[in-house]
Amino acid sequence: MKIKVLFLCTANSCRSQMAEGIANHFLGDQLEAFSAGTEASFVNPRAIAVLKEIGIDISQHRSKNLDEFFGQNFAYVITLCGDANEKCPLFFGGVRRTHLGFSDPAKATGDEEEILTEFRKVRDEIKITLIDFFGKEFNERSVSR
Protein backbone atom coordinates (compact mmCIF):
# COMPACT_ATOMS: atom_id res chain seq x y z
CA MET A 1 0.00 0.00 0.00
CA LYS A 2 1.36 3.42 -0.97
CA ILE A 3 1.89 6.02 1.71
CA LYS A 4 0.44 9.51 1.21
CA VAL A 5 2.75 12.50 1.46
CA LEU A 6 1.82 16.19 1.44
CA PHE A 7 4.46 18.79 0.56
CA LEU A 8 3.80 22.31 1.84
CA CYS A 9 5.18 25.69 0.86
CA THR A 10 3.79 29.18 1.11
CA ALA A 11 2.43 29.69 -2.42
CA ASN A 12 2.50 26.13 -3.84
CA SER A 13 4.20 27.51 -6.93
CA CYS A 14 7.80 26.20 -7.01
CA ARG A 15 9.36 23.99 -4.34
CA SER A 16 6.27 22.04 -3.29
CA GLN A 17 5.21 21.57 -6.91
CA MET A 18 8.68 20.29 -7.82
CA ALA A 19 8.72 17.99 -4.78
CA GLU A 20 5.32 16.54 -5.71
CA GLY A 21 6.42 15.88 -9.28
CA ILE A 22 9.81 14.46 -8.30
CA ALA A 23 8.38 12.21 -5.57
CA ASN A 24 5.65 10.80 -7.80
CA HIS A 25 8.11 10.25 -10.65
CA PHE A 26 11.00 8.65 -8.76
CA LEU A 27 9.19 7.15 -5.74
CA GLY A 28 5.69 6.61 -7.09
CA ASP A 29 5.85 2.86 -6.60
CA GLN A 30 5.93 3.43 -2.82
CA LEU A 31 4.19 6.74 -2.23
CA GLU A 32 1.56 9.11 -3.56
CA ALA A 33 2.58 12.75 -3.28
CA PHE A 34 0.46 15.88 -3.17
CA SER A 35 1.33 19.54 -2.65
CA ALA A 36 -0.35 22.64 -1.28
CA GLY A 37 0.39 26.09 0.00
CA THR A 38 -0.62 28.16 2.96
CA GLU A 39 -1.86 30.46 0.17
CA ALA A 40 -2.64 29.30 -3.38
CA SER A 41 -1.13 31.20 -6.31
CA PHE A 42 0.05 29.68 -9.61
CA VAL A 43 2.51 27.04 -10.77
CA ASN A 44 5.68 28.85 -11.74
CA PRO A 45 6.48 28.29 -15.45
CA ARG A 46 10.18 27.93 -14.61
CA ALA A 47 9.40 25.05 -12.22
CA ILE A 48 7.48 23.40 -15.05
CA ALA A 49 10.39 23.98 -17.45
CA VAL A 50 13.17 22.60 -15.26
CA LEU A 51 11.18 19.48 -14.37
CA LYS A 52 10.45 18.92 -18.05
CA GLU A 53 14.22 18.87 -18.59
CA ILE A 54 14.41 15.69 -16.50
CA GLY A 55 11.32 14.07 -17.99
CA ILE A 56 8.69 15.14 -15.44
CA ASP A 57 5.54 16.90 -16.65
CA ILE A 58 3.78 19.08 -14.10
CA SER A 59 2.21 21.36 -16.71
CA GLN A 60 -1.28 20.25 -15.66
CA HIS A 61 -0.68 20.90 -11.96
CA ARG A 62 -2.48 23.75 -10.25
CA SER A 63 -1.67 25.64 -7.11
CA LYS A 64 -3.77 24.38 -4.20
CA ASN A 65 -4.58 25.81 -0.81
CA LEU A 66 -3.93 23.68 2.24
CA ASP A 67 -7.63 23.77 3.10
CA GLU A 68 -8.35 21.43 0.16
CA PHE A 69 -6.71 18.63 2.14
CA PHE A 70 -8.53 19.19 5.42
CA GLY A 71 -9.58 15.86 6.94
CA GLN A 72 -7.39 13.72 4.68
CA ASN A 73 -4.85 11.35 6.18
CA PHE A 74 -1.18 11.58 5.29
CA ALA A 75 1.74 9.53 6.55
CA TYR A 76 3.99 12.58 6.15
CA VAL A 77 3.48 16.32 5.95
CA ILE A 78 6.72 17.87 4.77
CA THR A 79 7.28 21.61 4.82
CA LEU A 80 9.80 23.00 2.37
CA CYS A 81 10.03 26.61 3.54
CA GLY A 82 10.17 28.26 6.94
CA ASP A 83 6.89 30.12 6.53
CA ALA A 84 4.92 26.93 5.84
CA ASN A 85 6.70 25.19 8.69
CA GLU A 86 5.55 27.90 11.10
CA LYS A 87 1.98 27.99 9.74
CA CYS A 88 1.42 24.24 9.35
CA PRO A 89 -1.91 23.66 11.04
CA LEU A 90 -2.57 21.26 13.85
CA PHE A 91 -5.25 19.39 11.91
CA PHE A 92 -2.44 17.22 10.59
CA GLY A 93 -2.04 15.69 14.04
CA GLY A 94 -0.88 12.11 14.25
CA VAL A 95 1.27 12.26 11.14
CA ARG A 96 4.99 12.60 10.83
CA ARG A 97 5.77 16.27 10.28
CA THR A 98 9.17 16.99 8.82
CA HIS A 99 10.85 20.16 7.63
CA LEU A 100 13.22 19.92 4.65
CA GLY A 101 14.15 23.50 3.80
CA PHE A 102 15.24 24.72 0.38
CA SER A 103 15.96 28.21 -0.89
CA ASP A 104 13.20 29.87 -2.91
CA PRO A 105 14.18 29.85 -6.60
CA ALA A 106 11.42 32.38 -7.35
CA LYS A 107 13.54 34.96 -5.52
CA ALA A 108 16.51 34.44 -7.86
CA THR A 109 17.73 37.49 -9.73
CA GLY A 110 19.71 38.01 -12.90
CA ASP A 111 19.06 37.16 -16.50
CA GLU A 112 16.82 34.26 -17.53
CA GLU A 113 19.67 31.74 -17.64
CA GLU A 114 20.89 32.71 -14.16
CA ILE A 115 17.37 32.34 -12.77
CA LEU A 116 16.90 28.97 -14.49
CA THR A 117 20.24 27.86 -13.05
CA GLU A 118 18.88 28.55 -9.56
CA PHE A 119 15.68 26.62 -10.35
CA ARG A 120 17.79 23.68 -11.57
CA LYS A 121 19.92 23.81 -8.43
CA VAL A 122 16.86 23.68 -6.16
CA ARG A 123 15.27 20.95 -8.34
CA ASP A 124 18.39 18.80 -8.01
CA GLU A 125 18.61 19.43 -4.25
CA ILE A 126 14.97 18.40 -3.82
CA LYS A 127 15.50 15.25 -5.90
CA ILE A 128 18.59 14.14 -3.96
CA THR A 129 17.06 14.98 -0.58
CA LEU A 130 13.75 13.20 -1.22
CA ILE A 131 15.33 10.08 -2.66
CA ASP A 132 17.70 9.92 0.30
CA PHE A 133 15.01 10.70 2.90
CA PHE A 134 12.45 8.22 1.62
CA GLY A 135 15.07 5.59 0.82
CA LYS A 136 15.99 5.56 4.51
CA GLU A 137 12.32 5.67 5.56
CA PHE A 138 11.34 2.76 3.31
CA ASN A 139 14.30 0.71 4.53
CA GLU A 140 13.34 1.34 8.16
CA ARG A 141 9.70 0.43 7.45
CA SER A 142 10.66 -2.87 5.79
CA VAL A 143 13.04 -3.77 8.64
CA SER A 144 10.40 -3.06 11.31
CA ARG A 145 7.78 -5.32 9.69
Q: What is the CA radius of gyration of the chain?
A: 15
Cα separation, 38 vs 41, in Å, equals: 10
Cβ atoms < 10 Å from Cβ of 138 = 15
* Cβ–Cβ under 8 Å, residues 46 and 67: no
- d(C-alpha 137, C-alpha 14), whole Å: 24
Q: Is 74 helix (H, G, I), strand (E, B) or coil?
A: coil
- Catalytic annotation, residues: 9, 81, 88
Nearest to 123 by CA among 22, 29, 26: 22
